Chain A
């Protein structure tokens, strides 16, 4: 490049290209997406969080929870399982056939092949789609996270490092608001050897009045305040707990299909 203008053009081309690819294209492709539906259902997904949960997201952001927790589940693969739902008119033939076949951990073509064989022998089958991966094996979720999961979040708090467990589906896994509040106040009271710092400033420690507050935390002795005092969650703590309970990614979608083992709803947890 002969002069400053040449350098400017070079930088413009290079940065412009990646701006188009990683700023403009995702903004167009992902932000303009509309609500989608749950797989094989007419339920809309995602649904807006309730007011408390939306305020809770701001508490999550302000306290930098994303510095230790991620909200994204990864999926390494997908397998099919062939499940027998009916023995049909010739159970012994079907059971002989089944003993020769591998029925779990198959690819789709293999599953279709096995399923055809069993149907031909008179049995009734269903093919279950199962998402696999280390995060799923750990029980952190049932499928990978996709863009639709974050459509209504602002700011999106995906996180980048897992000092603590992933929270994308924590509303399914730990759906008790009291547990969440106890965990925020005294993590070690509910999780052994937890590295999470206690968030005392989200709570108030006050003298017990005529009757104990209905909200007061039931803490084990080691973590309890001095006698005559009770620990009551502030609005921030309650909203944060509501937000955590609203974090659910347990419905199948077109882009992340799986066969739910039990019926899941996208209604907020009670």
Chain B
């Protein structure tokens, strides 16, 4: 058998053995150094097991500091989004409405009033009958499209309408809107321009 085996080990093949030399000290020191450096690295980059901290942020505090504040821009963004899904279908994403059907909001005197209370009641209660907008007569009926929206959402929509397409009047806060809503909840739709004008500004 031995001359047929084309291997290089001497026969009979003994099982291997291992020497008992000691482990060199430098490898232990190196391990400890690397563990220390690793701990420092993890401290800087690991986010300390926080589920919300992702690179490039190195800590929860840093992530928090980079949150954009909920300012006017955010309100406008939210308002625009809600407007486009709720109001824009009829009044148009450009605020120009549809001739013969839906009145424009761009440049509308009802939108550009200093106080928003009259404007706010239109989506809260609905509007029927005849209304003049920018000199033109409109005779459609609008359901209470804003009744289902939250205060924050409707305030954002009104803010958006009041500062877009050339309109440039004050924003509406959710708290103000809450007060208006409390006053008009459950009322029937406003009927015509006359009734609209009776609402105090």
At the interface, yes or no: B80 with Cβ under 8 Å from chain A?
yes
Which residues of chain B have a CB within 8 Å of any CB of chain A? 49, 51-57, 63, 65-74, 77-78, 80-81, 84, 150, 152-153
B54 partner residues in chain A, CB cutoff 8 A: 144, 146, 255-256
Jot down 30 A-B pairs with beta carbons below 8 A, ordered by A: A25-B49, A29-B51, A30-B51, A40-B68, A40-B77, A41-B74, A41-B77, A41-B78, A41-B81, A42-B150, A78-B56, A80-B66, A108-B66, A126-B71, A127-B68, A129-B66, A129-B68, A146-B54, A252-B68, A254-B52, A255-B52, A255-B54, A255-B63, A256-B54, A257-B67, A258-B68, A259-B73, A260-B77, A263-B77, A263-B80
Residue of B nearest to A43 (CB): B81
Q: In the complex the two chains form, what is the Cα distance from A144 to B54 in whole Å?
A: 9
At the interface, yes or no: A35 with Cβ under 8 Å from chain B?
no
Residue of B nearest to A32 (CB): B51
B63 partner residues in chain A, CB cutoff 8 A: 254-255, 257
Q: Which of A29, A39, A126, A263 contacts B67 (CB 8 A)?
A: A39
Which residues of chain A have a CB within 8 Å of any CB of chain B? 25, 29-30, 33, 39-42, 75-78, 80, 85, 108, 126-129, 144, 146-147, 252, 254-260, 263, 265
Please state if A40 and B70 are interface contacts (CB–CB under 8 Å): yes
B78 partner residues in chain A, CB cutoff 8 A: 40-41
Chain A min CB distance to B54 (Å): 5
Q: In the complex the two chains form, what is the Cα distance from A255 to B71 in whole Å?
A: 19
Q: In the complex the two chains form, what is the Cα distance from A262 to B66 in whole Å?
A: 19
A25 partner residues in chain B, CB cutoff 8 A: 49
Q: In the complex the two chains form, what is the Cα distance from A77 to B80 in whole Å?
A: 29
Please state if B66 and A78 are interface contacts (CB–CB under 8 Å): yes
Please state if A108 and B68 are interface contacts (CB–CB under 8 Å): no
A76 partner residues in chain B, CB cutoff 8 A: 56
Q: Which of A29, A146, A257 contacts B66 (CB 8 A)?
A: A257
Residue of B nearest to A146 (CB): B54
Among B54, B70, B152, residue most surrounded by chain A Cβ atoms (within 10 Å): B54
A42-B152, A85-B72, A108-B66 are known; give 14 further A-B pairs, CB within 8 A.
Answer: A41-B81, A42-B150, A78-B57, A108-B65, A126-B73, A128-B68, A252-B68, A254-B63, A255-B63, A256-B54, A257-B68, A259-B68, A260-B77, A263-B80
